[in-house]
Structure 1
Amino acid sequence: MKLLDLSWRNVRRNFRIYSIYLISMIIGVVIQFTFSSLIFNEDILAVLENEENFQLGLITAAIVVFLFIIFFILYANSFFMNQRKKEFGMYLLYGMSERQIALMVFIETVILSSISLFIGILTGGLLSKFSGMLLMNLMQYDEVISFTFPLEAIGSTIALFIILIGIISIQSYFRVRRMQLVELFHSGANLEKLQPASKLLSLLSVLLLGMAFFLISRGDTSTIWENHLLASIVALIIGLIGGTYLFFRQFSGWLLETISRNRRYNEGNRVLWVSSLRFSVRGNALNLTSISLFSAAIIILVGFVAINYAVQIDGSTKNYPNDIAFESQDEQTQQQIETLIHESDHPMITHETIEGVLTNPVTSRDVAFDQAEFFTEDIVLFSEIQFNDMVALRNDNQEVELHGQEAVVLSTIDTPKQFTKENQTEFTVTTEEESTFHLTERKDYALLGPSSNVNSADGFLNLAIFIISDEAYETMQNGQEVQSYELYQIEDARHAAALSEEIQAIVSQSPEAYYSAFVDNYAIQVESSALLLFTAAFLAVIAVFALGSIIYFKQLREATDEQKQYAILRKIGVSNHEIKRVIRKKLLFVFLPPLILGVLHSLFIMNYSILEEVRDFPQLTTIMWAILIIYFIIYCLFYVSSTSLYYKIVNQQNR
């Protein structure tokens, strides 16, 4: 029989075993093609403001995706090869060489890859449309995404899987070369020896985890971290990694031993699933440790970018309170701009004019601003009444009450600060004469958004604004240069990029004239944060799937090795229902601990470190709960699928 015929017959006759491997490859193709198609989707590229950054970000993420796919499929191939050890032993007895077996495996891989590419690309085309719509929704665009199969995406997916076929073939060849004939016929006979757990190491695992959680809960500003930074980092790493490993290696074994010594140990089916776990728990320790730690990293990553996305959207509204704002123009130009607004799809809602006094700082701007390089050289002074009127119009409840030479600094990029009466900071400005103000507060509030019509490294520069008392403003206003600003609120400002571009072109005719539009920053912030969230979520799903598969394939391998034991249970009268309950309890003990530890690690790190600066963000709790629920659902699906297939495997020889 030719190798091609033998390979094809193997695929058809043992489709149950091959199907697990085939599904893994199909999932890899779907993921790779879905992600690649987004890079070349013309509908998406046409609507983006930052097309180059979008493609660069996705290409970088696509490389990471492919690495995950390699890991996942190679692990699946390892499981697949172990399931076929006895089959390979038969081929060797029949006179086939190791090279012929490796060639047969290569032909099977090509057949499975061809099937997976065909099915995966078709499925990926459907998912790419859904993914594109999801991405556009995150970016808050209304663009309709068509159903397409970009040739570039098809070509890149096929090319990458050709590389993957080569890697799989090399892995399979060396695994066949290392196999011994005796080992092939006794592949399931070697069970791990039962070893007692150490009470001391079990206690040490709890102490190490407790130490890690304690250090995290102290925060990076505590005296422990400030005075002993390096030691704290080392202790935290040892506590998290070492504590987690010992928890699964020793504490879990000690817990099972404790259960086995209980008086009621022999009641029900407890003896069945506990005794089985005691033989396998130590061998799973490294895998479960990796799953717990990587799960924590995944939750932290997705939580961070999801909160960043929500904060960026909220920050755009906060930092750019005016849909369109610019320095007042001459009457003809002003009329031209208002005509553009009226004739656009974004009619005017409100129009306000405010005025301020331009001054030069005598005192260093570092006194008022922590990041003075992001502010204009000139200081603009606005009166208390104008500020309070604008605050009331916006319903922001940020009014100020000033007297004499008191002043409030406005900054959305610096930390808010209160100056006490005993320690008020003096700040001197000059026009024709010098005036000194007493700074009472630095407020996190924007009267005018950053200007996009001035020279700066990142294209945006904040106006340096002081709010002063009405009486001080009247004094400063007399005979001084006054600058007026036009503030507009329009309908559907998020999609007013074209209108903003037209108005900015007019305002830009005056060199260094102030111009600020909500949509300019919104497009940049939302596109970048939405892409980051989408990519992180995509990678997280892949990572969770890969990590869950580690448990999944490990348990299926154990199920194959334990077929004879379950056959004996059936012969002595254990029912199918009871066997299913034993399997559920056993796998629950495997799936649940890494889930709990991963969630605990991530929640401690997120709560005491990453979320400190956004503690008051209203959507914080909702976002974290949503991530944890999705994570829990994915692992539940793995658990249910594993228990079902585990039962089918152990029940196979009993039919």
Structure 2
Amino acid sequence: MSLLDLTLRNVRRNFRLYSVYLFSMITGVLIYFTFSSLMYNEDILNALKARQNFQTGVTIASVVIFLFIVFFILYANSFFMRQRKKEFGMYLLYGMSEKQVTLMIFYETLTIGAVSLAAGILLGGLLSKLFGMLLMNLMDYEQAVSLSFPLEAVGSTAGVFLLLAVIISIQSFFMVRRVQLIDLFHAKARSEKPVAVSAPWAILSAAMLAASYLLLASGKGSVMWQDYTSASLIACTIGIIAGTYLFFRQFAGWLLRLVSRRKGYHEGNTVLWTAALRFQIRGNTLNLSFISLFSTVLIMLMCFVSINYTVQFQAVGQNLPNDVAFEAQDPALPDRLALLMEEEGHPVKKHRTLEALETEPVTSLDTAFENPEYYLPKVLLVSQSAYNEIAAMRGDGQSVQLQGKQAAALAQGSDFPQRYPSGGEPPFRVNAQTETSFTLVEKKDYALLGWATDPASSMLKKPAVLVVSDEAYRELAGKAPHRTFHLYQIGNAKGAEKLSEKLHAAVTETPGAYYSSFADVYSRQIEGSSLMLFSGAFLALIALFALASVIYFKQLREATEARPSFTILRKMGVEQRQMKSVIRKQLLFVFLPPLALGLMNSGLIIKTYIVDSVKDYPNISALVWGTLGAYFLLYALLYLSSSSLYYKIASGRTA
């Protein structure tokens, strides 16, 4: 019998065992081909404004997806190698060389890979159309997406999985080579020893996690995060990682030891599920720590991309509140550009003129504006009445009341907007022929003019604007240069890219003139956030699949090893209901702590670094809770399915 015949016979004989492996491979091919084929779909590429950025982003995401696929396929292969060690031992005993066994495994991998490739590409082609339509919908584009099987995507997918087959064969070769023949026959007879636990180490793990959570809960506006940012970040990282490891290595064992010493321990089935867990701590520590930390990163990723996408639709409008705004030194320019807007199909809905005084800042800009490098160097003074009139027209309730030399800084994008307490207002000095000192009573996260833009590079810099009292404005009006800005709201502002090119060319005939357009930023921001959400969702999908594979194969191995013990219990008269209860409690102790730690870690980090920064946007908290709830639900379903599978294998009800 040739190696190829033996390979085909093994696949047919072990089809039930290989069905899980085949499903994993098909899913991997499907996800990879679906994602990579989008990069070559001409319908999608023709609809995008930033085509090159899209292809670059998809390429990077494809590499990450490939690494995830390699991870869980190698993990699955490692499980199957352990399950078949006795079979390989027989082959070696009958005279086959390690090279021949490895070549047989390579043939098996190619056989399964060929089936997976055909099925995965076929299903992936169908899904790519669905996901392409979803991507267009996320970007708010009305673009039809055709069904396609790009040759570039087919070739890259086939190449990737051929490389994976080689990697699997190399892994299999080293696993067979480093184990002695006698070990192959007794591979399943090994048992783990319980870990020695101590109360001080267990308490230390809880203290490290608690200290990290308290530091995170203090918020990034606290003294620790403001004055000791790097130290706080390092302390939280070490506390969460080391605390999680020690939690599963020491605290879990210590807790089980406490349970074993309480009265009534030998009553019911407590002794059955706790005894098994104490022997599994050593082998489960790394797995459970990995699941907790991986869950943290995964939830953070999904929350970040979801919040980023949700916020972008409103953030563009907040950063560029005027559909078109420009500075006009030629009195005839506004009428000429308004006529151009009408001709291009973007009629003027509202028009407002804003007068401002240009001054030189004497005080450092970072006193009134965060990240001063994003601002134009001059400071514009706007009167309270002019500002309040525009704020009232927008209906956003952002009016101010100022007197004397009081001023309010319009620090759009500020993470820490605030109204200063009486007696604690910082001074801000400007030069308009003579120096004038204002008292800052408020720093507002508000855009009056918005970012300066151009059609080619989108956002440039934003004007630094101080709102001052009417009397202070009148006092300085004869000393500082005047600048006149025209603010427009137009029809179909989202689709005004071509109009913006013409407007920008006309305005910038005057060097240094301010120009801002909503359309210059909207399409790029929405495309970027949509691609980030789409890529993040794909990465989360493959990451969840990898995580489920780790849990699934771990439980599959432990259930197989526990089968003799459950057989003895059944002969001793333990009822089926009690066996199910033991399994549910045992797995709950394995599933619940990683889930709780993952949700706690990610929830606090998201609140501190994301939610608190965008708390003015509606529905953000609901979005975060929805993401946490969805992850909890998926994890609960995984727990229930694992419990059912564990019982079937341990009780011998499935082959």
TM-score, structure 1 normalization? 0.89
Query: Match of 2:353, SS?
Result: strand
Distance 1:320-1:51 versus aligned 2 partners, 3 A rule:
same
Q: Deviations over 1:340-373 (max 9, x none)?
A: 433555444x222313145342735636545444
For 2:643, the aligned partner's letter is: T
**Contact 2:454–2:520 at 8 Å: present in 1 too?**
no
Q: Which amino acid aligns with 1:107?
A: Y
Is the contact made by 2:328 and 2:507 (CA closer than 8 Å) also made in structure 1? no
- Deviation (angstroms), 1:78: 0.3
Q: For residues 324 and 390 of structure 2, what CA distance do their matches in structure 1 show?
A: 15
Residue 117 of structure 1 corresponds to 117
Residues 120 and 385 of structure 1: CA distance in aligned 2, closer, same or farther (over 3 Å): same
AA of the residue aligned to 1:356? E
Please list, as runs of the form range in 1=range in 2, the aligned pairs for 1:255-334 lying within 5 A after superposition: 255-328=255-328, 334=334
* Stretch of structure 1 that moved more, 106-115 or 317-326: 317-326
Asked whether 1:554 is paired with 2:554, we answer: yes
- Residue 296 of structure 1: how far off its partner (Å): 1.6
- Amino acid of the residue matched to residue 449 of structure 1? G
In 2, distance between residues paired with 1:138 and 1:202? 47
Structure 2 CA distance for partners of 1:368 and 1:210, relative to 1, 3 Å: closer
1:630 deviation in Å?
Answer: 2.2
Per the TM alignment, residue 329 of structure 1 is displaced from its structure 2 partner at its CA by 7.8
Number of the residue aligned with 1:448:
449
Distance in 1 between residues matched to 2:100 and 2:642, nearest whole Å: 34
Which residue number corresponds to residue 460 of structure 1?
460
Map 1:180-219; keep pairs closer than 5 Å.
Answer: 180-194=180-194, 197-219=197-219
Q: Matches of residues 413-432 of structure 1 in structure 2 within 5 Å?
A: 413-414=413-414, 416=417, 418=419, 425=427, 427-430=429-432
Contact 2:302 2:536 in 1 (8 A): yes
Q: Give the direction of change, closer, same or farther, for the CA distance of 1:329–1:135 in structure 2 (3 Å limit).
A: farther
Report the residue type matching 1:277 in the other structure: L
Between 5-14 and 186-195, report the one with greater CA deviation: 186-195
Q: 1:351 to 1:397 in 2, by over 3 A?
A: same
Name the counterpart of 2:159: 159
Mapping for residues 353-432 of structure 1, pairs under 5 Å: 353-361=352-360, 363=362, 366=365, 369-404=369-404, 406-414=406-414, 416=417, 418=419, 425=427, 427-430=429-432
- CA positional deviation for 1:82: 0.8
1:607-651 C-alpha deviation (Å, 9 max, x unpaired): 345544334443331122122122223322322332233233234
Query: Which segment is superposed worse, 585-594 or 404-413?
Result: 404-413
CA distance in structure 2 between the partners assigned to 1:107 and 1:646 by the alignment: 31
- Give the Å deviation of 1:100: 1.6
Give the Cα–Cα distance (whole angstroms) in 1 for the partners of residues 408 and 220 of structure 2.
Answer: 31
Native 8 Å contact 1:61 1:535 kept in 2: yes
Higher mean C-alpha displacement, 550-559 vs 333-342: 333-342
How far does residue 331 in structure 1 lie from its aligned partner after superposition?
A: 7.5
Deviation at 1:167, TM superposition (A): 0.6
**By how many angstroms is 1:21 displaced?**
1.1
Deviates more, 1:169-178 or 1:187-196: 187-196
Q: Are residues 262 and 321 of structure 1, via their aligned partners in 2, closer, same or farther at CA, if it must alter by over 3 Å?
A: same
> How far off is 1:582 after superposition?
2.9
- State the AA in 2 paired with 1:387: Y
Say if 1:250 and 1:506 are closer, same or farther in 2 by CA, change over 3 A. same
State whether residues 356 and 380 of structure 1, in contact with CA within 8 Å, keep that contact through their aligned partners in structure 2.
no
3-state SS, counterpart of residue 282 of structure 1: helix
Residue 50 of structure 1 deviates from its aligned partner by 1.9
Give how far 1:477 is off.
5.3
CA distance, structure 1, for counterparts of residue 411 and residue 634 of structure 2? 43
Contact 1:192 1:279 in 2 (8 A): yes
Deviations 1:134-193 (A, max 9, x none): 333333333333322222221111111111111111111111222333222222211223
Q: Deviation of residue 393 (structure 1)?
A: 0.9
Residue type of the alignment partner of 1:452: T
SS for the counterpart of 1:255 is helix
The aligned counterpart of 2:90 is: 90
CA–CA separation in structure 2 for the residues paired with 1:254 and 1:109: 43
Q: Which amino acid aligns with 1:549?
A: S
Find the counterpart in structure 2 of residue 58 from structure 1. 58
Question: Is residue 250–residue 282 contact of structure 1 (8 Å, CA) maintained in 2?
Answer: no
**C-alpha contact (below 8 Å) 2:458/2:520 kept by paired residues:** no
Write the letter of the residue equivalent to 1:363: V
1:131 to 1:361, Cα distance in 2 relative to 1, 3 A: same
Q: SS of 2:448's equivalent?
A: coil
CA contact (8 A) 1:454 1:513 kept: no
Name the aligned partner's letter for residue 427 of structure 1. Answer: R
Does the residue aligned with 1:284 lie in a helix, a strand or coil?
helix
Q: For residue 453 of structure 1, report the CA deviation from its aligned partner.
A: 4.5
Q: Are 1:537 and 2:537 counterparts? A: yes
Deviates more, 1:478-487 or 1:92-101: 478-487
Letter in 1 for 2:445: D
Listed one character per residue, the Cα deviations across residues 513-542 of structure 1 (whole Å, up to 9, x for unaligned) are 322111212223222233233333332332
C-alpha distance in structure 1 between counterparts of 2:406 and 2:222, whole Å: 35
Q: Write the mapping of 1:98-117 to structure 2, written as runs, cut at 5 A.
A: 98-117=98-117
Deviations 1:380-432 (A, max 9, x none): 443332221111111111122334554443331455465657856353443xx
Q: Secondary structure at the match of 1:283?
A: helix
**Match for residue 2 of structure 1?**
2
More off after superposition, 537-546 vs 404-413? 404-413
Residue 354 of structure 1 contacts residue 386 of structure 1 at CA under 8 Å; is this kept in 2?
A: no
Is 1:645 the counterpart of 2:651 in the alignment?
no
Contact 1:454/1:514 (CA < 8 Å) preserved in 2?
Answer: no
1:230 deviation in Å? 7.5
For residues 570 and 133 of structure 1, the distance between their equivalents in structure 2, rounded to whole angstroms, comes to 54
SS at match of 2:282: coil
The offset of 1:119, in angstroms, is 1.3
* Corresponding letter in the other structure for 2:354: E
Kindly indicate whether the alpha-carbon contact (under 8 Å) linking 2:362 and 2:430 is maintained by their aligned counterparts in 1: yes
Q: CA deviation at 1:487?
A: 2.2
Root mean square deviation of aligned Cα: 3.2
Q: 1:5-24 counterparts in 2 under 5 A?
A: 5-24=5-24
Instruction: Give the superposition deviation at 1:17.
Output: 0.6
What secondary structure sits across from 2:436 in the alignment?
strand
Structure 1 residues 340 and 572 mapped into 2: Cα distance closer, same or farther (>3 Å)?
A: farther
| SS of corresponding position for 2:143 | coil
Q: What is the SS of the residue equivalent to 1:399?
A: coil
- In the other structure, the counterpart of 2:249 is 249
Q: Does 1:79 align with 2:66?
A: no
- 2: CA distance between counterparts of 1:368 and 1:260? 62
- Distance change >3 Å, CA 114–CA 175, structure 1 → 2: same
**Contact (CA 8 Å) 1:407, 1:438: kept in 2 or not?**
yes
Q: Which moved more, 1:251-260 or 1:477-486?
A: 477-486
Instruction: Classify the secondary structure of the residue corresponding to 2:358.
Output: strand
Length, aligned pairs only: 651
Shift, 1:248, TM fit: 1.6
Aligned AA (2:453): S
Amino acid at match of 1:88: F
- Give the TM-score normalised by structure 2: 0.89
The separation in 2 between residues aligned to 1:417 and 1:231, in whole angstroms, is: 26
1:27 aligns with 2:65: no
Say if 1:536 and 1:380 are closer, same or farther in 2 by CA, change over 3 A: same
Query: In the alignment, is the contact (CA less than 8 A) between 1:355 and 1:482 conserved in 2?
Result: no
Q: Which runs of 5+ in 1 are unaligned?
A: none
Partner-residue secondary structure (3-state), 1:599: helix
Could you say what secondary structure the match of 1:67 adopts?
Answer: helix
Equivalent residues of 1:357, 1:476 under 8 A apart: no
Give the drift of 1:258.
3.5
Classify the secondary structure of the residue corresponding to 2:453. Answer: coil
**Displacement, 1:556?**
0.6
5+ long unaligned stretches in structure 2: none
C-alpha contact 1:454 1:461 (8 A) present in aligned 2: no
